[in-house]
Structure 1
Amino acid sequence: MKRIESPQNSLVKHWKKLVTTRKERDKTEEFLVEGFHLVEEALKKDGAILALIIRDGVEFPTDWSTEGVHIVEVNSAVAKEISETEHSQGVYAHCRQPKHAEEDFISWKKLLLVDAVQDPGNVGTMIRTADAAGMDAVILGKGSADPYNPKTVRSAQGSHFNIPVVRGDLMEWATKSKQVGIKVLGTGLQNAVNHSDIEPQTEFALIMGNEGSGVEPELLALADATVKIPMYGKAESLNVAVATGILLYSYSRD
């Protein structure tokens, strides 16, 4: 077991950059998770963890399998440097961002396409919901929050290790989906049908749009149908992550 006591240590500085800057996460294709639940989820994914980091006085649960995992012990000063939450549990994992090959893409038949959703908490909740609803992958389009932002990771509650999350051109993904017979469903108000008018699907791509402006019109034009969720009360709209949950559970089936 390695021990680090200086916040000036180069590895500590790297960990801190993973927490605070998207540039570092993108350059290294790494990210940091914090807290017992997220670290436990990372441990379940073979090869995900580069280092398990534990603060003085904190013990691993006895049922964790840490064989072959590089463990680094740190003091409170170091832990404070890399903590993103105010009341840290003192356990972290330095992780690789999952990679996916082209042959993986071909097998994906149920997709959530996220168009410029900017709030990390919403994006994380959408990833978690897609995981729970049995989707094959989440595709984040241009303008969407960084999937490895600490707030996104925390909101997803470990689903990054269960469901592929990739960044891509949504026009290309929607076009390819249609070419192989996957139904593309857009969301909006114009020329839309109630979401309940569409039957559950074994294969479909659902496009969810920006919190304020919705799905980009050129992308929405590719949809086979546009759906809306009726408002029965006085609220003008639903939170995009809540709407995603309603729609995914309306359409997804094994």
Structure 2
Amino acid sequence: MEKITSAKNQKIKQWKKLQTSKGRRETNQYVIEGEHLYLEAVKSAMILDTVVVTEKFLSKVNPAHLEQVILVTDDVMHTLSQTETSQGIFCILEIPEQRLPKTFNGKFVLLDGVQDPGNAGTIVRTADAAGFDGVIFGEGSVDPYNDKVVRSMQGSQFHIPIYRGNIRDMMGEFEYIYGTALDKNAKDYREVPQTDNIAVILGNEGNGVSSEVLEATTHNLYIPIIGKAESLNVAIAGGILMYYFV
């Protein structure tokens, strides 16, 4: 079993590149870190290219992955870790090739410029919990395999397809497509039918859904605010809308 004791090792340098969008694009790989995500990957029968562990974590590795294991020292793991406290395991996976369906049947969430990694990951996790059929990251949205998005998804990327695409090009592909907006023409979300073949569009944290997209929807929806808050966080709003359509 290979053991790496220096952070200057070439493999360590290559793995560090996966912390950048450019590095992930060039290799088509991404990283999961920590016991929970490792166990979720095992449960979901994901193929792990490399499993990097410290001596302390070695006994927890599934026997099926021992050939992929590379041991590292605590100091090297600290170099690789993207959290303040290393969790002892760091796995490298292929980014799945998800081609957009030719026809969209089911329930989808479309992200139009959602840039906060925590919001994006929470939306994917909620879509998974609500039984949606996919999440599409549109132009201007955060990289779905950014480390903070991956941590927020909590393994939901193993359960629900994640796509990337131009939202404007797919506006006519859904039976019902709902934007989110705070304007006089928007409808209370509870007024639209709870149908199966739908898309819900969630927009940028500061600017919302783009006007070009809003003009091409079936309806634009709003969530009534009863108290004095100015608005809802996009991930919270997304959760309310997704569960309405369950």
Name the TM tier (shorter chain): over 0.9
How far residue 203 of structure 1 moved from its aligned partner, in angstroms, is 1.2
SS in structure 2 at match of 1:135? coil
Pick from 198, 202, 205 the counterpart of residue 208 of structure 1. 202
The answer to whether structure 1 residue 52 and structure 2 residue 45 are counterparts is: no
2:37 matched to which residue of 1?
38
Q: Is the 8 A contact 1:185 1:225 kept in 2?
A: yes
Matches within 5 A, 1:20-35: 21-35=20-34
Residue pair 1:52, 1:92 contacting (<8 A) in 2 also: yes
Give aligned-pair identity as a percent: 41
Q: Which runs of 5+ in 2 are unaligned?
A: none
TM-score calculated relative to the size of structure 1: 0.91
- C-alpha distance 206-218 of structure 1, shift in aligned 2 (>3 A): same
Which residue of the partner structure matches residue 194 of structure 1?
Answer: 188
Q: Report the CA distance between 1:17 and its aligned residue.
A: 1.3
Matches within 5 A, 1:1-254: 1-19=1-19, 21-61=20-60, 64=62, 66-67=64-65, 70-101=68-99, 104=101, 106=103, 108-177=105-174, 182-190=175-183, 191-252=185-246
Compared with structure 1, are the counterparts of its residues 107 and 43 closer, same or farther at alpha carbon in structure 2 (3 Å cutoff)? farther
Shift of 1:230: 0.4
Contact kept, 8 Å, 2:171 with 2:177, in 1: the verdict is yes
- Unmatched runs of 5 consecutive residues or more in structure 1: none
Q: Deviation string for 1:88-127 (max 9, x for gaps)?
A: 211111111111245x554642110000011011001011
Pairwise CA distance, 1:65: 5.5
For residues 184 and 218 of structure 1, the distance between their equivalents in structure 2, rounded to whole angstroms, comes to 14
Q: How far, CA to CA, are the matches of 2:46 and 2:121 in structure 1?
A: 22
d(CA) in 2 for partners of 1:108, 1:68? 40
Letter of the 1:186 partner, please give it. G
Instruction: State the Cα distance separating 1:174 from its structure 2 match.
Output: 1.9
TM-score (norm 2): 0.94
- Cα distance in 2 for partners of 1:136, 1:202 equals 10
Offset from partner CA, 1:17-67 (integer Å, 9 cap, x none): 112x111011111111111111112223445310111112224437x4535
Judged with a 3 Å threshold, the aligned counterparts in structure 2 of structure 1 residues 156 and 170 are, in CA distance, closer, same or farther, namely same
* Matched AA of 2:146: N
Distance 1:43 1:107, change over 3 A: farther
In structure 2, what residue type is equivalent to 1:163? Answer: I
